[in-house]
Amino acid sequence: MEALEKDKAASDLRLYYAMLDAYGSGDETRSVDLLLRWPRARLENALAEVNRSNDPRAPWSPRIHGLAAMLHTDVALRLAPGAETKEAFWHIDLASRLLSPGTTQKAVDIRPLAERWYEAVARALRDRSRAYVAELLLRLGRTRLPDNPVVLRESGMLAELFATDYALIGSSIAYSTSHGGTVRLKEIISRRARNLDDAARWLRQAVGLDSGNELLAVHLGRVLTLRHDDDAAVVVLGAVSTTGKHAEAAYLASLFLGGLRERQGQLDAAIDAYRDALSHLPSAHAAYVGLSQVLQRVGQSDESRAVLLVPLTHKAGPTEDPLWWYHIDKPGVAERRLESLRAEVRQ
């Protein structure tokens, strides 16, 4: 009986390799479809035979590691939009293990691929509104790829997202026709503070490891602003705004400085910051709105209207604001990132 089961597992491993080969030749849909039909136990039994005497491809090459990781990633992404979070995460965990340093027999450093994989999959999950699965993924990354700037950056940015757009999601607020609404404000505030603490810690570490990344510094500066750590935020955002090497990063840094100054009641400084932002990116949108509003508050109504009309009538060219893509990728970018990884492992 045991021998029969072992034969079955060995035979399934061969089928698994057939799926990997199909995936490697570009037949992604069919291989994912086939793998999705396998019960978890069958897959676990087949994978238990890997690198044993029955395994015709032992030891696994880095290419097989990469192909298998991406196949399981695609299975997870197929499952993720639905309710099968647990099942999706099982495949993500497996893919993450396959890409852990030291899992390949040959002296090939799988770390660069793993780093890109964590970024691509985390962004793809965010793109599919599965940010909480992305956090589980990055938790694995922080363990299996410690002190990695990409994993830390993605972790910090996701925690920042949780503290902003996602701050109110998750059982704190209930609306009901029969019971009216309730807000558990303390719960929201304390959870948000934890998110901001995590974001600040990870982004600081990431900036320490990747100091030339200005957009990363902007995220740190904004998180510091949200924590009301204003002095530190001004230093970080001010540096990016002044350097101005990367126009979008400099714009965002000045824009966030404008918001910070406005919140502090320093309206003249806010006006300067918004104007700085527009000097970096005259075709933006949000800084005009911010500037217009502050001008109106200080009684400069005519100029307030004039400033507002610039983006609304496209006087500075077609409007596009980096703020709109601050938390999310532009349409198609997350998918292109994944496609590039698929192409890489197929080589």
Partner 1 sequence: MRATCLTALAAIVCLLPPQTFRSSAEGVRVDVLVLDGKNPVGGLTAADFELRDGGIVQTIDSISMEDVPLSLMLALDTSRSVEGAALGHLKDAATAVIRLLGPADRAALMTFSGAITLRTPWTSDRATLDAGVATAEASGSTSLYDAAYAALTLRDHQPGRQLVLIFSDGDDTASWLPGRNVIEIAKRNEPVVYAVELAPQPIVVSTSGPFGQRTETVTRPAPGYRLDFHSGIQDRVENAPNPILLRRFLNELADETGGKVVNAESSERLKETFLQVINEFRSRYLLIYTPRGVDSRGWHPIEVKLKNRRGQVTARRGYLR
CB of 144 to partner 1, least distance (A): 31
Helix (H, G, I), strand (E, B), or coil: what is residue 183? strand
Q: What H or E segment, with its residue span, contains residue 266?
A: none
CB of 320 to partner 1, least distance (A): 8
Q: If binding is defined by CB under 8 A, does position 171 make contact with partner 1? A: no
Number of residues counted as binding partner 1 (CB under 8 A)? 58
Q: If binding is defined by CB under 8 A, does position 347 make contact with partner 1? A: no
Which structure tokens are listed for 123?
A: 């962004």
* Contact (CB, 8 A) for 48 and 40: no
User: What ranges in the chain are assigned the alpha helix state H?
Assistant: 2-24, 28-37, 40-48, 62-79, 85-98, 111-127, 131-144, 149-163, 185-209, 214-226, 230-243, 247-264, 267-280, 286-297, 301-312, 333-346
Q: If binding is defined by CB under 8 A, does position 73 make contact with partner 1? A: no
| Residue 240: closest CA among 257, 261, 217, 262 | 217
The values of phi and psi at residue 120, to 5°, are -65, -45
Which structure tokens are listed for 318?
A: 């077609």
**For partner 1, the closer CB: 151 or 199:** 199
Q: If binding is defined by CB under 8 A, does position 324 make contact with partner 1? A: yes
Of positions 35, 70, 226, 341, contacts partner 1 by CB under 8 A: 226
* Contact (CB, 8 A) for 225 and 254: no
CB of 206 to partner 1, least distance (A): 22
CB of 278 to partner 1, least distance (A): 6
Of positions 48, 108, 189, 193, contacts partner 1 by CB under 8 A: 189
Helix (H, G, I), strand (E, B), or coil: what is residue 173? strand
Say whether the peptide bond before residue 62 is cis (omega within 30 degrees of 0): no
d(CA 239, CA 233): 10
Binding string, residues 240-259; x marks residues near partner 1 by CB under 8 A: ---------------xx-xx
CB of 241 to partner 1, least distance (A): 13
* Contact (CB, 8 A) for 286 and 251: no
Alpha-carbon separation of residue 216 from 197, 220, 228, 268 (angstroms): 16, 6, 19, 27
Of positions 68, 307, 334, 338, contacts partner 1 by CB under 8 A: 307
Q: If binding is defined by CB under 8 A, does position 177 make contact with partner 1? A: yes
Q: If binding is defined by CB under 8 A, does position 313 make contact with partner 1? A: yes
| Residue 111: closest CA among 71, 137, 146 | 146
Restricting to residues 274-303, which ones interact with partner 1 according to CB under 8 A?
275, 278-279, 282, 285-287, 289-290, 292-293, 296, 301-303
CB of 124 to partner 1, least distance (A): 20
**For partner 1, the closer CB: 20 or 203:** 203
Binding string, residues 123-152; x marks residues near partner 1 by CB under 8 A: ------------------------------
**For partner 1, the closer CB: 206 or 278:** 278
The values of phi and psi at residue 310, to 5°, are -60, -55
Of positions 58, 108, 168, 298, contacts partner 1 by CB under 8 A: 168
Of positions 15, 50, 267, 323, contacts partner 1 by CB under 8 A: 323
d(CA 217, CA 232): 12
Q: If binding is defined by CB under 8 A, does position 235 make contact with partner 1? A: no
**For partner 1, the closer CB: 87 or 303:** 303
The values of phi and psi at residue 173, to 5°, are -120, 130
* Contact (CB, 8 A) for 260 and 229: no
Binding-site ranges for partner 1 (CB under 8 A)? 163-165, 167-168, 173-178, 181-183, 185, 188-189, 192, 226, 228, 255-256, 258-259, 262-263, 275, 278-279, 282, 285-287, 289-290, 292-293, 296, 301-316, 319, 321, 323-324
